[in-house]
């Protein structure tokens, strides 16, 4: 069963690898949702219930955030994800399924990530990923030992650093129309 769980984690990692090939936030969120779905199963099979809830909610967040801007990304939806996070983790804490300290950091990093993702600002999303989300998830993934999770967070950190060198702070979204004859 653990081998199957690790395979699912590696499939999830593949979706993230593909997601970082796009500069569009919308495409990134769709692929991130696919990755979170596989990580949900990965964590469930490993008995990592904090990670299970985190990835289940990340898949839901991906659905909401992948909607075209103005077509569903509303303040009530944002707050619904935050409330769902608190309720999901509250149930796990009540049931005694989150005994480790790192489990308590997961909902905090998820809410930080949700806030910046909702803002749809590429720079803020990458900063939150680099300084809050990936470090917390990396420690958690090492603790529960999911190869896909460890590889994903290492890749996330390295990719963000490389993208900062390549595109700078403002190069995460194409905001100007492409000029005829130019290549992006």
The helix/strand/coil state of 83 is: helix
Arithmetic mean of pLDDT, 2-11: 96
Structure-block tokens of residue 56: 């289940």
Arithmetic mean of pLDDT, 146-157: 94
pLDDT at 69 over 60: yes
Q: How confident is the model at residue 173 (pLDDT cuts 50, 70, 90)?
A: low
pLDDT at residue number 178: 40
- The rounded distance, in Å, linking the Cα atoms of 172 and 129 is 14
CB 10 within 8 A of CB 147: yes
Angle value at C-alpha 17, between 135 and 45, nearest 5 degrees: 70
Percentage of the chain with pLDDT > 70?
A: 84
Which secondary structure element, helix H or strand E, spans residue 74, and what is its range?
A: none
pLDDT at residue number 176: 39
Convert the pLDDT of each residue in 27-51 to its tens digit: 888 888 899 999 999 999 999 888 8
DSSP character at residue 129? I
Place of tokens 């680099």: 130
Convert the pLDDT of each residue in 76-120 to its tens digit: 766 777 777 778 777 877 777 766 777 778 888 888 877 887 776
């Amino acid at each position: 069963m653990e081998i199957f769980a690790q395979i699912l984690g590696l499939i999830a990692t593949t979706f993230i690898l593909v997601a970082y090939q796009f500069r569009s936030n919308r495409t990134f969120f769709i692929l991130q949702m696919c990755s979170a779905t596989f990580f949900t199963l990965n964590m469930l099979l490993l008995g990592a219930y904090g990670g299970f809830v985190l990835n289940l909610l990340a898949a839901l967040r991906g659905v909401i955030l992948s909607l075209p801007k103005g077509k569903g990304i509303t303040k009530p939806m944002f707050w619904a994800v935050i409330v769902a996070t608190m309720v999901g983790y509250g149930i796990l804490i009540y049931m005694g399924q989150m005994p480790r300290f790192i489990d308590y950091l997961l909902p905090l990093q998820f809410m930080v990530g949700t806030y910046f993702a909702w803002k749809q600002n590429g720079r803020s999303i990458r900063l939150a990923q680099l300084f809050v989300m990936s470090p917390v998830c990396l420690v958690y993934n090492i603790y529960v030992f999911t190869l896909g999770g460890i590889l994903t967070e290492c890749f996330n950190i390295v990719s963000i650093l490389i993208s900062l060198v390549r595109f700078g702070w403002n190069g995460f979204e194409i905001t100007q129309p492409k000029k005829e004859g130019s290549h992006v």
